[in-house]
Amino acid sequence: MTDKSPKKTILKSKVTPLPPLGMESKHLVSDFKRNYNYRLGRDEQSQSPFYAYEALSFAVNDRLIERWKKTHNAYERADCKKAYYLSMEFLMGRTLSNAMLNLGVDDVANKAMYKVGLEMEELLESEPDAGLGNGGLGRLAACFIDSCATLRLPVTGYGLRYEYGMFSQQIVNGEQIEKPDHWLRNGNIWELERPEYTQRIKFGGRTETHTDEQGNTCVCWVDTHDILAVPYDTPIPGYRNGTVNTLRLWKAQATEEFDLAEFNAGDYAEAVAAKNTAENITMVLYPNDANENGKALRLRQQYLLASASLQDVIANWVSGHGNDFSQFAAKNCFQLNDTHPSISVAELMRLLIDGQGLSWDDAWKITCSTMAYTNHTLLPEALERWSVNLFRQLLPRLMEIIFEINANFLEEVSAHWPGDHERLARMSLVEEGHEQHFRMAYLAIVGSYSVNGVAALHSKLLQQGLFRDFYELWPEKFNNKTNGVTPRRWLAGCNPELASLITDTIGDGWITDLSLLKKLEAFADDQDFHKRWQDVQQNAKQRLVDYKKIEHGIELNVDALFDVQVKRIHEYKRQLLNVLHVIHLYDRIKRGDTVNWTDRCVLIGGKAAPGYFMAKRIIKFINNVAHVINNDPEVGSKLKLIFLANYRVSAMEKICPGADLSEQISTAGKEASGTGNMKFMMNGAMTIGTLDGANIEMREEVGDDNFFLFGLTEEQVQAQSQHYDPVVIINQDDDLQRVMNLIECGHFNQFEPGMFDVIKDSLKNPHDPWMTIADFRSFVDAQKRVEVAYQDKQRWTRMSILNCAASGKFSTDRTISDYNNDIWKLTPVNVN
Ligand SMILES: *Cc1c(COP(=O)(O)O)cnc(C)c1O
């Protein structure tokens, strides 16, 4: 009893090791009961499936943590190179069913819940989505970390723990209403707070220059208002391989001194208010997809992510290697998910120079050999620019560093192109104007050794357009990494019936090697296999119908063609083109042109950024058109249009298995990749699409005969945009004229005059960058080809099988292998 320090006590005790947790259903039953009765303190009177969800989740999570520690120790022992995926968004969706699948306890857990008399489905449905992202970019990050763990790669995801995720969408009177998503309200059993790894983040203040005894100048960033970043870790299991990686999300917290200073000044209320200001930083996810808005709070979020994550990595490095950074670049690499974390380039410089005492040149060498940047969009409005004045106020030291990086960089440009002043101005990290701005994409390019786009076309367009100057300077930096989706969640997990048909037919190797789906080609004309495939697809459609019925109160006809477009609402994605086609079908019904009719259910879903006026008006338009069509007895089951409210990951898991036709109809050259397109293809849906993003590569894989192509190519869009005249096109096309007349005469807004004028105007605008009218005829013709194919059940089934069989390339396992082989160069670590 002489030494009571907690550290010693733990060292002396024998809290580990424990015998491995059982993986059979009886073990889950007993753990479930213990969690339910003691950890949660519930009894049989409790009616809520949520507690049952929590009790099972605790049991599953304990098994994840077991493997988590082993993985951590295996990485430490291997002293291996590690990669860090820095992303402002991780659109994870639900965790439990994916964790059970990857652990391999899905079947035994089903048995366990059956034994205790609970409905697994109901229990899974009570888990809220972790919606910490907007759309494709955030979901990509989630699929990536699943694949990293499955490939046994030592990769940590770094992000922010937003208190409020992506808003939940309600439709009232046809309009989007946003409701805050307080996803943590009932707690989150999957996260583990790690206060011991808290980092301190500086904001504001000013810089001072000192000269030390050796005559070196050093800069101090002083008088700052600091906040704390507290990490919350979530285990990320690989597919049945013993690996469990980490997703580390930072939560902003006020410092204790901050409170104390105010408290001593006697103003308790001020102290609490100040605390809130600090903690607001990670309060809410910005709900803007492909659009930035320059708010100070957003810059604070970005800096918090960059600084906390880099400090974390450096602290870990120092604990193992002291202040010897000679091997740092050989052992660490940072992948920046878009420009959102690009301030990391300057922050790593600051930490190495001001914090670790490295010279500028040494720090720069390390920075440029550890950072890699992924670009996600060609849309100019999405290219982040931050006001230099905002930087001066909020991050003065970072501002100085970016100016210095720029000065050095412009010297290099001058040396490469002597006297080319225009190019110098074009390439500068500082955009001049009545106010100066930092071009964050350029900072990311200059500070990275790899710059990639997310599909072949997108990467090509980056090199020829947006980043042309940089490509000419450093062609070797540029590369393509075509996106993918994880086949665990997007096939095995969301479509278990199709998964088991595939496994019965070709074995289960496809789950970790999706190229094996190619083996299904041998069954494309097998009649027994056709029958089973059709049954599975029909059941998936029925489940979608049931889900709709519950969520929307609408009864759909399972035999109709399910024509689906779900994604963020954006003009470039052209939900309007889809609606024009729907109105055209409605017009055909109304004028009796229905010989050989194919019944069709058009499902459209997606959220609009709350400040994006046109996108919100498009939602209103879809809902109004739906109201007219769905209530017209003459239309009946021939045509239905449904707006799916509150599109999110857990909704997509029900939607993509039940789709016949996937709409990927963006204006060519505007969609960087798309990943929704891949989820549908994997589940056997046909695609109607333009030559845009990854559609091009999907069509290459499946063959032209099994893809419904339409529309202008990217080159044709470029060429025609000069002399685009939508009014002439409308006047030359009777069908289109009738559609436009219906809109213009107020047929869909009889009690809301002028409601859709902006839509009509944008369609007829010769400067419409999305050129919707230009692709109408080609789209309608492609839709006719779809109907012909759908009416031939044999042919459709064959095409469906071939689409699934050809989707192997679009696994994130392939994408991540490419990242690893070309950029990260990590060695897989076997945990078992
Ligand atoms: C896959 C996915 C997306 C991306 O869809 P795109 O069609 O590629 O834009 C967006 N949101 C959710 C919820 C998704 O699952």
Amino acid 547: pLDDT:
82
User: Is the minimum distance from the CB of 676 to ligand 1 under 6 angstroms?
Assistant: yes
Amino acid 289: pLDDT:
84
Joined tokens for residue 623: 């809902």
User: Is the minimum distance from the CB of 139 to ligand 1 under 6 angstroms?
Assistant: yes
Amino acid 5: pLDDT:
46
Amino acid 551: pLDDT:
64
Q: Which of 649, 664, 671 to mutate to test the pocket of ligand 1 (most atoms within 8 A of CB)?
A: 649
Low-confidence stretches of the chain (pLDDT < 50) are 1-6
User: Is the minimum distance from the CB of 604 to ligand 1 under 6 angstroms?
Assistant: no
* Closest residue CA from atom 9 of ligand 1: 567
Report the distance separating Cα 316 and Cα 84, nearest Å: 13
User: Is the minimum distance from the CB of 135 to ligand 1 under 6 angstroms?
Assistant: yes
Q: Where are any strands of DSSP class E within 103-185? A: 130-132, 155-160, 165-172, 175-181
Name the active-site residue from 620, 679, 699, 798: 679
Which atom from ligand 1 is nearest to the alpha carbon of 693? 8
Distances (CA, A) of 555 to 173, 506, 534, 597, 653: 20, 36, 21, 20, 20
* Closest residue CA from atom 1 of ligand 1: 676
Q: Which of 129, 166, 652, 665 to mutate to test the pocket of ligand 1 (most atoms within 8 A of CB)?
A: 652
User: Is the minimum distance from the CB of 675 to ligand 1 under 6 angstroms?
Assistant: yes
724 CA to centre of ligand 1 in angstroms: 30
* Closest residue CA from atom 6 of ligand 1: 676
Amino acid 422: pLDDT:
96
Joined tokens for residue 727: 């009014």
Q: How many residues would you count in the chain?
A: 832
Amino acid 264: pLDDT:
64
* Closest residue CA from atom 15 of ligand 1: 649
Whether 100 contacts 488, CB under 8 Å? no
Whether 398 contacts 392, CB under 8 Å? no
Q: What percent of the chain is predicted at pLDDT more than 90?
A: 90
Report the distance separating Cα 304 and Cα 159, nearest Å: 10
Q: Does 376 qualify as catalytic in the annotation? A: yes
**Which residue is listed with tokens 């998910």?**
337
**Is the domain 489-814 a CATH 3.40.50.300 member?**
no
User: Is the minimum distance from the CB of 607 to ligand 1 under 6 angstroms?
Assistant: no
Amino acid 548: pLDDT:
73
Q: Which of 830, 823, 827, 829 is nearest to 334 (CA)?
A: 823
**What's the whole-model pTM score?**
0.97
Beta-carbon-side half-sphere exposure of residue 116 (alpha carbons within 13 Å): 27
Q: Does 679 qualify as catalytic in the annotation? A: yes
139 CA to centre of ligand 1 in angstroms: 7
Q: Does 627 qualify as catalytic in the annotation? A: no
Name the active-site residue from 82, 202, 567, 581: 567
Element (H, E) at 595: none
709 CA to centre of ligand 1 in angstroms: 21
Q: Which of 90, 168, 566, 687 to mutate to test the pocket of ligand 1 (most atoms within 8 A of CB)?
A: 566
* Closest residue CA from atom 8 of ligand 1: 674
User: Is the minimum distance from the CB of 567 to ligand 1 under 6 angstroms?
Assistant: yes
Using one digit for the tens of pLDDT, what is the confidence trace for 351-408? 999 999 999 999 999 999 999 999 999 888 878 999 999 999 999 999 999 999 999 9
Name the active-site residue from 139, 530, 570, 573: 573
568 CA to centre of ligand 1 in angstroms: 7
Report the distance separating Cα 614 and Cα 772, nearest Å: 14
At residue 418, φ and ψ (nearest 5 deg) are -55, 135
Largest CA distance in the chain: 95
Amino acid 9: pLDDT:
58
Amino acid 28: pLDDT:
98
Q: Does 573 qualify as catalytic in the annotation? A: yes
Q: Which of 91, 144, 662, 698 to mutate to test the pocket of ligand 1 (most atoms within 8 A of CB)?
A: 91
776 CA to centre of ligand 1 in angstroms: 24
Domain ranges for the chain, please list them: 489-814
Q: Which of 172, 170, 171 is nearest to 180 (CA)?
A: 170
Q: Does 248 qualify as catalytic in the annotation? A: no
User: Is the minimum distance from the CB of 455 to ligand 1 under 6 angstroms?
Assistant: no
Whether 737 contacts 731, CB under 8 Å? yes
Amino acid 15: pLDDT:
82
Amino acid 395: pLDDT:
98
Beta-bridge partner residues of 159: 249
* Closest residue CA from atom 10 of ligand 1: 135
User: Is the minimum distance from the CB of 652 to ligand 1 under 6 angstroms?
Assistant: yes
Beta-bridge partner residues of 520: none
Which atom from ligand 1 is nearest to the alpha carbon of 606? 11
Burial class (CB in 10 A: 0-12, 13-18, 19+), 427: buried
Report the distance separating Cα 44 and Cα 37, nearest Å: 9
What is the DSSP annotation of 99-132?
HHHHHT-HHHHHHHHHHTT--HHHHHHTSPPEEE
